[in-house]
Amino acid sequence: MPDLIVCEKLTKDKLRLFQKFHCGPDSWATAVTGWITGSSPECAAKDIENRRCKVYLYRNQAENVIGFGAVGKTNGEWPNASDPSISVAIIPWLGLHSDFHGKPSGPGETRYSDQILADLVYKAKATGKKYLVLFVDPDNAAAIKVYKRNGFEGSDKPLLEGEHMGMSLNLESVPDAS
């Protein structure tokens, strides 16, 4: 039987569930971990309080905290930096606990990363925006692979050295949930 995730809205009182959450040892993973655990100045608690984005908690059927994701709206020049500013949906934060990277991996299983991303895409589509954008560290090959596998497009490198790489998904190409 497939191990499907369960999504719930993340509230400030549920942030305690992330006390031992860890995305991995790399710099981008440390930044994502810091956002959800509150150890960075810009953190999930502030975003939840300011309602800058909606934050979601994901658990597997065994009730383990698998990860989290956020969806918001912003204005940006998209799809190119020279284009006029438009309102787009954005995934500002997405994290998967390091214990669950690449899992589940059995036949007929859908990876947790794909399940979380699919749910965030569905939530972004409900905003009515044409594009969903996200930014990823260009050295995070595993995340880039997940995003591309799920239909996101982007350049193979950031526009400027040391910056994150922008990726987008045309939400009009995503079928409505049935």
**Residue 156 or 112, more confident:** 112
pLDDT-based confidence at residue 1 (cuts at 50, 70, 90): low
Model confidence at 90: pLDDT above 80: yes
Percentage with pLDDT > 70 across the chain: 93
pLDDT digits (tens, 9 = 90+) for 127-178: 999 999 999 998 899 999 999 999 999 876 666 666 888 899 999 999 886 5
Under DSSP, is residue 175 helix (H, G, I), strand (E, B) or coil?
coil
Percentage with pLDDT > 90 across the chain: 64
CA distance 102 to 15: 24
CA neighbor of 2 nearest in space, from 115, 84, 95, 89:
115
Two tokens, residue 108: 């007929």
Q: In a 10 Å sphere around its CB, with 0-12 CB exposed, 13-18 middle and 19+ buried, how is residue 174 labelled?
A: middle
CA distance 50 to 85: 23
> Under a CB-based contact definition with an 8 Å cutoff, are residues 93 and 32 in contact?
yes
pTM: 0.90
Domain assignments of the chain as residue spans, ordered by start: 6-171
**Residue 51 or 45, more confident:** 45
**Residue 5 or 162, more confident:** 5
CATH code for residues 6-171: 3.40.630.30
pLDDT digits (tens, 9 = 90+) for 67-88: 999 999 988 777 677 888 888 9
Count other Cβ atoms within 10 Å, centred on residue 127.
Answer: 17
CA torsion, ordered 154, 159, 161, 165, to nearest 10 deg:
-30
pLDDT at 46: 85
